[in-house]
Structure 1
Amino acid sequence: MSPAETLRSTSRNSRIPLHAAMRLKVFHRTSYSYRTPVTDSFNELRLRPATEDRHRLEFFLLQVNPPAQLRHFRDNWLNYVHYFELPEAHSSLVIEAQSTVNTTNPYADGLPTGASLGSLKQGLDDIMAPFIGDSRFVEVSPEAWRLGIDIRDGRDDVFEIAENVMHYIFREWRYAPSTTTAATHMNEVLQKRCGVCQDFTHVMIGICRSLGIPARYVSGYLYNGPQANLRGAEASHAWCEVYIPGRGWYGLDPTNDTRADERHVKIATGRDYLDAAPVSGNFSGPPGATAALDVEVEVRMA
């Protein structure tokens, strides 16, 4: 079955009822345990929820143990980044973030349809250049382009094309934790046809970019209600945003085949995972000083 035939049998409606607005509490705990004490640990944290028109941060608390002085800056993509150093020897590291966020469904006022692919060619400025070319984990490859052409199937509306890319990935890729790593490239995922939210997002970004649609990576969290069965809600989540001329950025979640709505809590954006990783860092230690990682995430109604 071709991509176009697959999509004709896929519902274009969001799979889960929308609630228009939510007040969500997020708890995120990342802990590292080292086999032997390490020193000179340096870490960057992208854990503070973004503040936008439909996404308002009400409360945020960040703590690390061993205690360290937290500093912050805005990166190239305007993400809020905390960083800290631990020069002294330590055998564990715990990072905890608590947030309260008020979210509103960005699609509540209607779908951003009506923009053609031609309008992208005429109206993009230099600021979009990073989101239409290659990046560390995404390649505008011939295979991505061929898939994109088949999925497009003659359509010209930017949002409709992007949404159909989302439908196709959800239907044709298998959600399979532990089959990939944080360093898995999009091209490997194209071959395996399986992975997790990070992988599906990279594939969607690559296909959209191959068609000339600016696309970027979003890291964040997902509220999974008592009657929902969303994939990727048990930890940090990822989805794709595409740029619609005259309308701005709109999120699509290929892991769950749904538009990114009030259940999605945005943390950071970038060209791919490397720009938006929730926690990244390094340390010094003897051979064998590897770290055991544990991540705990809870998102609930406030």
Structure 2
Amino acid sequence: MRFRVFHRTRYVYRAPVRDSYNELRLRPATDDKSRLEFFLLKTDPPARLQHFRDNWFNYVHFFELPEPHTSLTIESQSTINTTSPYQDGKPLGVNFAALKTEQDDVVRIFLNGSKYVEVSPEVWRLGIDIRDGRDDVFEVAESVMRHIFREWTYAPNTTNASTHMNEVMETRRGVCQDFAHVMIGVCRSLGIPTRYVSGYLYNGPESHLRGAQASHAWCEVHIPGKGWFGLDPTNDVLADERHIKIATGRDYHDAAPITGYFDGPPGATSALQVALEVRRMDG
């Protein structure tokens, strides 16, 4: 599928702020399943954009605004072609014993707890119940996805960007970020390397997918000998060509679309406005 994405984030401050520093993970990822044709990023007030690759190989832009300003607009446009990782079917047939024999340091880091994910005994017990003795890694990961979709309630405005997975385990309510964190925790507790993915979701005219109105989140599990494969517990679907990957990491902290800070007087908090359009350009 070929998409054009427009994403605008605007902050309006109650008083002038200065010395604003921001990191942006907004450039779509490029790999064998996604080809970036065009990308444009701009800010208002204008800023000199620089970039680097972070520890997770995400493409990160950053900029500083030392002068006082009362608003900040960040706007990105991109055109990208995507292909489903599941064109050749699901990566079935790999058992749990393989998880212990094929892991390098890059993969092993996604087995541990992280800022918003805890691999606790409670989570492990839930994972064991969901696994129910089965030995196919991807089949079990799918079962975790279905369980979260079935047992958790999609409830916008009940959590925020800093909500920990433990709170979501208790309330069983949240949004795509929370569903991804819970699935990551459960899969890691079973020994399945799992990472967080931020990006966009195309919700076609005949689709009824949740989370397409803003930046979306799902997760990817690593299947030995086959690679990373995405699952979307918010919608109980495989992450296919409708999912446009931007960044990956251990959890939201590593892959947040925009992070930053500024200096300003007390009460100079910001109001946030977000506009997103994902338009299909073929078919």
Please confirm whether the aligned pair reaches a TM-score higher than 0.5, indicating the same fold: yes
CA distance in 1 between partners of 2:230 and 2:105 (Å):
21
The percentage of counterpart residues that share the same residue type is 72
Q: Name the counterpart of 1:268.
A: 247
Partner of 2:118: 139
Equivalenced residue count is 281
CA-to-aligned-CA distance 1:198-244 (integer Å, 9 cap, x gap): 00000000000000000000000000001111000000000010000
CA deviations on 1:66-118 (whole Å, 9 max, x unpaired) are 00000000000000000000000000000000011100111011110111111
CA distance in 1, matches of 2:105, 2:55: 14
- State the TM-score, normalizing by the size of structure 2: 0.99
Q: Aligned to 1:171, which of 150, 164, 184?
A: 150
SS of residue matched to 1:24: strand
2:65 maps to a residue whose letter is L
Instruction: State which of 61, 72, 95 in structure 1 corresponds to 2:51.
Output: 72
User: What is the aligned partner in structure 2 of residue 150 from structure 1?
Assistant: 129
Read off the aligned partner of 1:240 and give its amino acid letter: C
Q: Provide the alpha-carbon RMSD of the alignment.
A: 0.5
**Is the aligned partner of 1:281 residue 2:260?**
yes
Equivalence map 1:11-30=2 (5 Å): 22-30=1-9
Partner of 1:63 in structure 2? 42
Residue 206 of structure 1 aligns with an amino acid whose one-letter code is G
Q: Does 1:54 align with 2:33?
A: yes
Greater Cα offset, 125-134 or 268-277:
125-134
In structure 1, how many angstroms separate the alpha carbons of the residues matched to 2:258 and 2:38? 20
Note the C-alpha offset of 1:129. 2.4
- Deviations 1:166-223 (CA, angstroms, capped at 9, x unpaired): 0000000000001001000001000010100000000000000000000000000000
Gaps of 5+ in 2: none
Query: Match for 1:102 among 81, 101, 105?
Result: 81
1:247 equivalent to 2:220? Answer no
Q: Which segment drifts farther, 40-49 or 127-136? A: 127-136
Letter of the 1:106 partner, please give it. P
Q: TM-score, normalised by structure 1?
A: 0.92
Q: Counterpart amino acid of 2:141? A: A
Q: How far has the Cα of 1:294 moved from its partner?
A: 1.1
- 1:185 and 2:164 matched: yes
Secondary structure class of the residue paired with 2:167: helix
1:146 maps to a residue whose letter is: R
Which stretch shows the higher mean deviation, 290-299 or 265-274?
Answer: 290-299
Matches of 1:242 and 1:33, distance apart in 2 = 38
Letter of the 2:278 partner, please give it. V
Report the counterpart of residue 127 of structure 1 in structure 2: 106
Q: Deviations over 1:39-82 (max 9, x none)?
A: 00000000000001011111100010000000000000000000
Q: Look up the match of 2:17.
A: 38
SS at match of 1:64: strand
Question: In the alignment, residue 104 of structure 1 is paired with which amino acid?
Answer: T
Amino acid at match of 1:142: P
In 1, Cα distance between equivalents of 2:217 and 2:99 = 25
Aligned mates of 1:256, 1:296 — CA distance in 2 = 22
